[in-house]
Amino acid sequence: MRIRALALAGAAAAMLSVGACNKDNGGNGPKDVQSKEAQKAAGTKTIAAGLPANGKFMAAAKTAGLDQTLAGPGPYTVFVPTDDAIGKAPQGTFDAAPGNRAQLTGIITNMVLPGTVLVADIDKAIDAGKGKAQLATMGGSTVTATKEGGNTVLTDSAGHKAAIVKGDEQFTNGVVHEIDGFLMPSKQPAANAPAVGKKAGK
């Protein structure tokens, strides 16, 4: 009888420990980050699920907390630099370190567009814009699209260029275009951000 009681106590304690571990471990991150409704709206093959989990882009997205964004309903259009392109960026640019989170947030959101924009849509806008089209990014700036040698090329405000090498990878919550370079946000985060000390209106 005594042994049974002790066994029950031990089992209860073990269950407590498991419960506690469930809260904090198992990756030690929040679970069910997206609600069931959001998961359903996003579908099964989201951008986050479709991109290589061990790729440099997703590592950077995770650091910035944007992996859950790309697993959400969207829709988003994401320009994803190849690992080679990321490797050519200045040292530390894409470091998946917590201290680099703010920079990564700015960089990645500068490569995300609202909605679903196919390569054909960009090309059509370039034609309508007499050779170039401005694309508004989620980071608050714009990138310029042009055609060069039959390729669709994106240019950021600093002059970095990246060509779309593999376009229109479709997912339930948007589309991915692989690019062979990286795009950087403008130094000022907002397009019309005021200079320091200048009154920018109320």
Partner 1 sequence: MTRVFLAAGVAALAISAPAAAGPHGGGGGPNGGGHGKGGGAPAYVNQSGGGEHAHAQGGRGGGGGGGAFRMQSFNGGGGGGGHGHGGGGNAVRMQAFNGGGGGHGHGGDFQMQARGGGHGNAHAMRAQQQQRQQARGNVARTQERIAVREQGHGNRAQAQNRMAFRQQDQNHAQGLNRQQQRANEQAQRTHGNGMNQNRFAQQQQVVVNRVNGRAAIVAENARGIGYGVGGCPPGLSGKGCMPPGQTLKALRSANADVFRASSIGLLSPGIIGPVQAAGFVGTPLATVGNYVPLAALPSSVSYLYPDTSDYYYRYGDGYLYQVNRGDNLVASLFPLLAGGYLPGTYLPQPYMASYVPDYYGLSSFYPASYGAYGYPYANYGYNGGYNYNNICSRYAYGVVYQVDCYTGMVINVIPTYAGGYGVGQMIPSAYSYYNVPMQYRDLYYPTADYSYWYAPGAIYQYDTGSSLITSVAALMSPGFAVGQPLPVGYGAYNVPYAYRATYYDTPNAWYRYNNGYIYQVDPATQLVTAVVASLLT
The verdict on 122 binding partner 1 (CB under 8 A) reads yes
The verdict on 142 binding partner 1 (CB under 8 A) reads yes
How far is C-alpha 50 from the geometric centre of its chain's CA atoms? 12
The verdict on 53 binding partner 1 (CB under 8 A) reads no
- Find the binding residues for partner 1 in span 28-47 (CB under 8 A): 28-30, 32-35, 37-38, 41
Which residue type is seen at 114?
P
E strand or H helix that includes residue 126: helix 119-128
Distance linking the first and last C-alpha atoms of the chain: 77
The verdict on 20 binding partner 1 (CB under 8 A) reads yes
Q: Which has the closest alpha carbon to 173: 37, 29, 55, 76?
A: 76
State both tokens at 141. 């700036």
Q: How far is the CB of 95 from partner 1 (least distance, A)?
A: 13
- Find the binding residues for partner 1 in span 182-201 (CB under 8 A): 185, 188-201
Task: Kindly tell me which of 87 and 122 has the beta carbon lying closer to partner 1.
Answer: 122
The answer to whether 145 and 156 are in contact (CB under 8 A) is: no
State both tokens at 84. 């080679």
Task: Kindly tell me which of 21 and 87 has the beta carbon lying closer to partner 1.
Answer: 21
From 45, 88, 124, 166, residue interacting with partner 1 (rule: CB under 8 A) = 124
The verdict on 63 binding partner 1 (CB under 8 A) reads yes
Q: Determine the 3-state secondary structure of 151 from DSSP.
A: strand
From 90, 99, 150, 159, residue interacting with partner 1 (rule: CB under 8 A) = 99
Q: Which has the closest alpha carbon to 42: 68, 66, 61?
A: 68
The verdict on 98 binding partner 1 (CB under 8 A) reads yes
Q: How far is the CB of 165 from partner 1 (least distance, A)?
A: 19
Contacts of 12 (CB under 8 A, 6+ apart): none
The verdict on 117 binding partner 1 (CB under 8 A) reads yes
Q: How far is the CB of 84 from partner 1 (least distance, A)?
A: 26
The verdict on 158 binding partner 1 (CB under 8 A) reads no
Contacts of 155 (CB under 8 A, 6+ apart): 143, 144, 145, 146, 161, 162
Task: Kindly tell me which of 32 and 159 has the beta carbon lying closer to partner 1.
Answer: 32
Q: How far is the CB of 38 from partner 1 (least distance, A)?
A: 4
